[in-house]
Amino acid sequence: MVITHDRTIVEVETDDIYNLRSDDPAETSSNFKEYRSYIKKKSWFILFCLIVLFATVIIAANIGSMKISFLDVLGHIFSLNMDGDGGIIWNVRMVRIIACILAGAGLAVAGVVMQCILRNPLASPYTLGLSSAAAFGASFGIIFLQAGSSITSGISIDNPYITTICAFLFSLLATAIILFLTRITRVSAETMVLAGIAISAIFTAGLSFMQYIASDAQLANIISWTFGDMMRGTWELNLIVFIVLLPVSLYFVYRRWDYNAMDSGEETAKGLGINTERERTIGMILSVLLSSVIVSFFGIIAFIGLLGPHIARMIIGGDHRYLIPAAIILGALIMLISDVVGMNIMHPMILPVGIITSMLGGPLFIYLLIRRYR
């Protein structure tokens, strides 16, 4: 605003600042420049996480019972060589690393969206009873469809596909029940969470019953399945997870503005033109579908859906434009680090990643909560 002694000009110019329809590129304040720099910092943070993830992949590919030199590992990775040592790198180590990245990224992005649409910071793929339903389904397959083996040494599941399909179908059943309950009542965040708690209780009771009637071998199989384990990763399973993860994540990224609006409350979001009922239903179906696929393939992996989103939120805030990509990368990174720890902490015994994420995730989560709310 130009300061002038001419009263008329002052009034006209003062009045013009109230003109919201002007297309004139008005001068921007210093805050505007600071905002641009602040946004750049968020992008740099995401890039930094990506570099750390890449470095972790290289380190993880170098860890294994068979010693292969660092340069050879790099050479096999970048040349896509799958012969000789390259076969070990790609078909033993990288397949597991990729499984970790996909599962971690998927659980984290599902967690971000669920926390937003359910307006609940503790929402994750497990809040809606998914893990209980999937575990119940896997137990059903092991006991009634003979998917479990009669063990002689160690624990193995004879027909993992039946177990996986049963786990997946029961997690979809849980989703369908929740959707039905929320439809006949009201599509609100509260009803979804409450329906999830009820479903979780029912399937947990069913799982306990299954464990009670199971033989020793079946019980061992059920318990083994419930430990999330990336050893189950194959290129085929990874491809299926990727095929689900990619379009679902792209949809979530596309809807990032709507999730920001929904974070500001139901009425604000509706006032901004968001169909909150539709977005909540679609967001829930997609996030549950994604987590169902991951849980069915790899078993129960706790805390990734909470840790990835919350660490990202604490560092770069709740703006979903940056939160979604940051949570995806951090989820993948935490999962990969947990798996590396699981493989090495009690070497030569390999601990399932689900145990590690719970052991690391629980205390870390408590620390983050104390830091955040102190």
Partner 1 sequence: MLFKACGIKFSYSSTPTLEDVTFDVDKGQVLTLLGPNGVGKTTLLKCLNKVLEPKGGSVMIGGVDMHGISRREAAKQMGYVPQRGEVSRMTVFDAVLLGRRPYIEWDASEKDLKLTDRIIGLMGLSDLSLRYVDEISGGEYQLVQIARALAQQPEVILMDEPTSSLDVSNQHMIMRTIRKIVQRNDMAAIMTIHDLNLAVRYSDRFVMMHGGRIFAAGGHEIITSENIRSAYHVDAYVENVKGIPIVIPK
Site residues (vs partner 1, CB under 8 A): 15-21, 23, 25-26, 28-29, 31-32, 34-35, 38, 119, 257-258, 260-261, 263-265, 267-268, 270-275, 313, 317-319, 321
Task: Of 245, 298, 299, give the one whose Cα is nearest residue 132.
Answer: 299
Least CB distance to partner 1 at residue 16 (A): 8
Helices (H) and strands (E) in the chain, counts: 16, 0
CA-to-CA dists, residue 334 to 6, 61, 210, 294, 369, angstroms:
64, 16, 32, 16, 17
Which CB, 8 or 79, lies closer to partner 1?
8
Compare residues 39 and 346 and give the one whose CB is closer to partner 1. Answer: 39
Residue 140 CB, nearest distance to partner 1 (Å)?
40
CB closer to partner 1 out of 347 and 372: 372
> What is the rounded distance in angstroms from the CA atom of residue 56 to the CA atom of residue 136?
34
**52 near 333, Cβ under 8 Å?**
yes
Shortest distance in whole angstroms from residue 257 CB to partner 1: 5
> Is 17 or 239 the residue whose CB approaches partner 1 more closely?
17
286 vs 323 by CB, closer to partner 1: 323
Nearest to partner 1 of 26, 346 (CB atom):
26
What is the smallest separation between the CB atom of 13 and partner 1, expressed in angstroms? 12
d(C-alpha 357, C-alpha 307), whole Å: 9
Supply the minimum distance, in Å, between the C-beta of residue 252 and partner 1: 14
Which of 27, 83 has the CB closer to partner 1? 27
Give whichever of 85 and 319 is closer to partner 1, judged by the CB atom.
Answer: 319
195's CB contacts (< 8 A; 6+ apart) are 128, 177, 178, 181, 182
Give the shortest CB-232-to-partner 1 separation in angstroms: 36
DSSP 93: I
CA atoms 207, 238, 292, 356: torsion sign: positive
Least CB distance from residue 22 to partner 1, whole Å?
Answer: 9
Closest CA to 223 of 308, 168, 342, 143: 143
How far is the C-alpha of 96 from the C-alpha of 83, rounded, in Å? 18
- Residue 82, exposed/middle/buried by CB under 10 A (0-12, 13-18, 19+)? middle
For residue 155, the minimal CB distance to partner 1 (Å) is: 43
E-strand stretches of 22-128: none
